[in-house]
Chains A and B, each alone.
Chain A
Amino acid sequence: DAGVIQSPRHEVTEMGQEVTLRCKPISGHDYLFWYRQTMMRGLELLIYFNNNVPIDDSGMPEDRFSAKMPNASFSTLKIQPSEPRDSAVYFCASSRGRIGAGANVLTFGAGSRLTVL
């Protein structure tokens, strides 16, 4: 099992540019989560999907952020236009079933470090 795969690992862009982060969850996992990590706010949930359907996007900071999951093996997080305050590490994670049920846990990818100049 290759785990959760994220790309790119590092992205440096200029303010105003569009940024697209990609995620491939673990095969068979039906939940997919996007988290953002900053020094100030720690790890915060942006959005999560169940069976490719967005369930809760209340953590998405602004309309500049959007996420899609066109199929069970791929998700994107898009920021358009990007701003310097979006600089953070973005993690994708997946799980099979409800967290806690049968000791299911969240498995994270290695993260995408975004720097917006």
Chain B
Amino acid sequence: DQQVKQNSPSLSVQEGRISILNCDYTNSMFDYFLWYKKYPAEGPTFLISISSIKDKNEDGRFTVFLNKSAKHLSLHIVPSQPGDSAVYFCAASSGAGSYQLTFGKGTKLSVIP
């Protein structure tokens, strides 16, 4: 049973436009959410995070939105750049439980010049 779901395996966006990557979760105990970016032959690298006490967190071109009632979060990239082409993983953590992250399967973003 997947607790973190990224239902879109891939997404293509034109350079300069907005990229929206979505993530759903089922475990109501999750209280901290992260997005990781992964390039081929590299490990995932941290991108941005959000605590469950917030509904939005912004860092430059990247914004994460959290809708707790819907158990949904999204990552917005504006404007999208070719260097953003990568696999994006959504991850969740439950502070009340263990100290581990549960990951989605990832969404491959392709930004077309």
* Interface residues of chain A: helix, strand, loop or mixed (majority): strand
Name B76-113 residues within 8 Å CB distance of A.
89, 91, 93, 95, 98-106
A99 contacts chain B at the CB level, 8 A cutoff: yes
Shortest C-beta distance, A10 to chain B (Å), equals: 10
A56–B101 alpha-carbon span in the complex (Å): 13
Are A99 and B45 interface neighbours, CB within 8 A? no
Q: In the assembled complex, which residues on chain B have CB atoms less than 8 Å from the CB atom of A55?
A: 98-99
- Asked if A99 meets B43 with Cβ closer than 8 Å, knowing A42-B106, A43-B89, A105-B34, the reply is no
What count of chain B residues pass the 8 Å CB interface test?
Answer: 25
Across-interface contacts of A91 in B (CB, < 8 A) = 43-44
In the bound complex, how far is the Cα of B31 from the Cα of A100, in angstroms? Answer: 8
Nearest-CB distance from A97 to chain B (Å)? 8
Q: Bound state CA distance, A111 and B87, in angstroms?
A: 15
B62 CB → nearest A CB, Å: 14
Pair count A-B, CB < 8 A:
67
Q: Is A110 an interface residue (CB 8 A)?
A: yes
User: Is B49 in the interface zone, CB < 8 Å from A?
Assistant: yes
> Quick one: CB contact mask for A81-117 with B, threshold 8 Å, 1 for yes?
0000000000101010011110101111111000000
**In the bound complex, do residue B44 and residue A99 qualify as a contact, i.e. CB atoms below 8 Å apart?**
no
**Chain A residues within 8 Å of B1, by CB:** none
Chain B positions within 8 Å of A60 at CB level: none
Q: Which residue of A lies closest to B43 (CB)?
A: A108
- Beta-carbon contact of B106 and A99 below 8 Å: no
Known: A107-B46, A111-B43. A99 touches B89 (CB 8 A): no
Contact between B99 and A4, CB atoms less than 8 A apart: no
Q: Using a CB–CB distance below 8 Å, which chain B residues touch chain A?
A: 31-32, 34, 36, 41-46, 49, 51, 89, 91, 93, 95, 98-106
7 A-B pairs with the lowest CB-CB distances in the bound complex, closest first? A108-B43, A100-B32, A42-B105, A43-B103, A105-B46, A99-B93, A110-B43
Q: List 25 A-B contacts (CB under 8 A).
A: A35-B103, A42-B104, A42-B105, A42-B106, A43-B89, A43-B103, A43-B105, A44-B103, A45-B100, A55-B98, A55-B99, A91-B44, A95-B99, A99-B32, A99-B34, A99-B100, A100-B51, A105-B46, A106-B46, A107-B46, A110-B41, A110-B42, A110-B43, A111-B41, A111-B43
